[in-house]
A and B are shown apart, each in its own frame.
Chain A
Amino acid sequence: MPVASITNLTVRYGSKTAVNDMTVQVPDGCVGLLGPNGAGKSTLIKTLLGFVKPAGGHGQVLGLDVATQGLAIRQKIGLMPEQDCHIPGMNAVTFAAYAGELAGMPAKDAMRRAHETLEYCGLGEARYRNVETYSTGMKQRIKLAQALIHGPKLLFLDEPTNGLDPAGRDEMLALIRDISHGKGVNVLVSSHLLPDIERTCDQVIVMQTGRVVTQGLVAELRRMTTVQVEVDLKIASAEFVNAMDRRGARVLQQFGSNYRFELPDNVADAGRELFAAARDSGAQLRGFRPAVRSLEDIFLEAVE
């Protein structure tokens, strides 16, 4: 069941079209929203939240109409914005509880929940510190905590790992993965960092110039349509390539002594063929593995 469905959505900033006649279904689970800078990812999120009025088309989030039920939508969603944002003069626990009260939670519940959420986000020790004194990583965490405080059904995360060091990034991605799997929270992660999406999301939507260019399960998209293997030789060998060519395989990529071969569909045992070619050409085969497409390959294919 889609958590958001958008039909012919167009968003314009003056004469510039940010989202262009877009139709897409955002499935449940953890979905990555990929695209280069200026692709319209943030605009799409802002439109779904009701911050930006669309010039055309319509959309639904969790079954609620974007144009007329903005408040009801915001009751059920949480937003972790890309920009640094906090409420000045507050410590973390007050800030998180205040965010909960703004969402309608009774003050007592909001305070209890603020402690829980801050612990979960790894700010338990720093909860009484003023948010303005936080490091970039801690500010990212507090943004996540305020988004989670009222128990949203859908979480929009806009560039959640911005400005984080490698350890902080790992922890943030682990948190996102944890929330979005088995906790009943759907997550839409907008990012231009492909490894982040690869680590957290099960599905991706790739956008470019305000349109969806590809969409689907990451596992499906990564699946090869032909039999391909990555081969690692001790040294590059033209004879090995010729030997493979005689067996009906062709070279797709070569980086030094690493090759990617596309094998004929009727090959039953790729290993046997590779060993045979190595024996015939006198090349030393160091290793081989079935080739998979990376998210980067999918992304580049989609945007090119």
Chain B
Amino acid sequence: MTQDRGTSQNGGGMDDFVLDGGSASAVAQTPPPLARLGGPIADLSYRNYDGPLHNRAIRWWVIAVSRVRYLRVRWWFWLFVALSLLPWLFTTVIMYFQSQTGGVAANSPFFDNTVGQKYAVHFYQTLGWQGFWLFCIALMTGAGAISSDNRSNALLVYLSKPITKGDYLLGKWMSTFLMVFSVALIPSLLFYLYCLLSYYSDGFLKEEPWLLLRIVGACAVPAAIHASLLTGTSAWSKTPVLAGATYAGVYFVSGIVALAVWGIRFRGDFSQGLLLRHLSIGGIIDGMNQNIFGITQHITAWQRHRGVQQLTLAPPSFWAMLAIAAGLCVIGIVAARLRIRAVEVVAG
């Protein structure tokens, strides 16, 4: 009996082996170079791939998911995720005790009983407290997104495959966006569920019917701004640490400078220079979210010349905030796009 085991596809490797008369005499006419050395029974010869191929439209997703796969096995990433959940836990505990004590704490600074923002203010405040941790998670995800590829020439691997620079950039941007967005959105939704179950009878849905959409929008703001700026910063660096340090520097320095200029210009008067006070990365995120949740802040402020004041602060101009936020996103993405090249072309 002669049995030709044949090739599984169109490679031509397995047809080198012929079983004759029941005795396994393997005749290797052109044995694969490495199969010769060890002599495993398995066919190690080269075979072509003729299987299915996905449409290019979702290839950015592969890139986005790869960063998530990288981070999900890092303990420090989960530590920061856990820390970012603490503000939500704190707010939930406060809400729980408030409900248990029959509204005793309702006049504390944590609560605002203004109709239309009674619940939204909790989401706005807690997202604000979570902001620093979201920034840290964005740094972990985005700082190395392109810079580590630059260091290891990985762009040659990416761009020699059937993907465009746009696919690559979208994948990298999405990896940071989705990570920050998820870390902000998931606890927000859980808290929303808690509020829904606890305050449904108090008119939770009736008073603030659009809250769910506002939450989704508010979670997307820090995710989009961090993702865009970090992608841009990362593309211009070859070391994740340098990219992260640069972005962190811009983040903190812009906040300090905006506050200092506002303090000098308006002598610390909270009712003035609202836009100037928000001219930083953190300030823009805060201003956008205040607009999205439609929050008018009622704060108690003390100033040397004016004493204690009860202030009502409307959100900064939505269109100005939106324009600046969109501008930052565009700057980050354009900066990254300019830098993404498969080969370094030096004009002579």
Q: A residues bordering B, Cβ < 8 Å?
A: 13-16, 46, 49, 51-52, 71-72, 74-75, 77-79, 81, 83-90, 94, 98-99, 101-106, 109, 113, 116, 119-122, 124, 132, 146-151, 171, 174-175, 177-179, 181-185
Contacts and interface: CB of A to CB of B under 8 A. Distances in A.
B48 A184 contact: yes
A83 B156 contact: yes
Interface string B72-83: 000000000000
A99 B70 CA distance: 15
10 contacts: A13-B348, A74-B161, A74-B162, A88-B152, A101-B62, A102-B158, A109-B52, A119-B44, A132-B152, A179-B46
Interface stretch (B88-96, B98-106, B133-141, B339-347): B339-347
Given A120-B46, A171-B33, A85 B152 contact: yes
A105 B151 contact: no
A151 B62 contact: no
The 8 closest A-B pairs by CB, nearest first: A14-B347, A151-B49, A16-B348, A174-B33, A85-B153, A104-B53, A79-B160, A102-B161
A104 B34 contact: no
A178 B348 contact: no
B33 A178 contact: yes
B12 interface: yes
Contact of A81 (B51, B62, B153, B348): B153
B45 interface: yes
B59 interface: yes
A59 B250 CA distance: 46
Contacts of A113: 49
B30 A86 contact: no
B157 A99 contact: yes
Interface string B309-348: 0000000000000000000000000000000011101111
Interface string B190-227: 00000000000000000000000000000000000000
Interface residues of B, number: 51
B50 A72 contact: no
A12 B269 CA distance: 60
A138 to B, nearest CB: 13
Contacts of B49: 105, 109, 113, 149-151
A290 B62 CA distance: 58
B153 A83 contact: yes
Contacts of B346: 13-14
A104 B55 contact: yes
B298 interface: no
A56 B226 CA distance: 41
B152 A86 contact: yes
B303 interface: no
A215 B34 CA distance: 32
Given A14-B348, A178-B33, A184-B48, A81 B156 contact: yes
B32 A103 contact: no
B265 interface: no
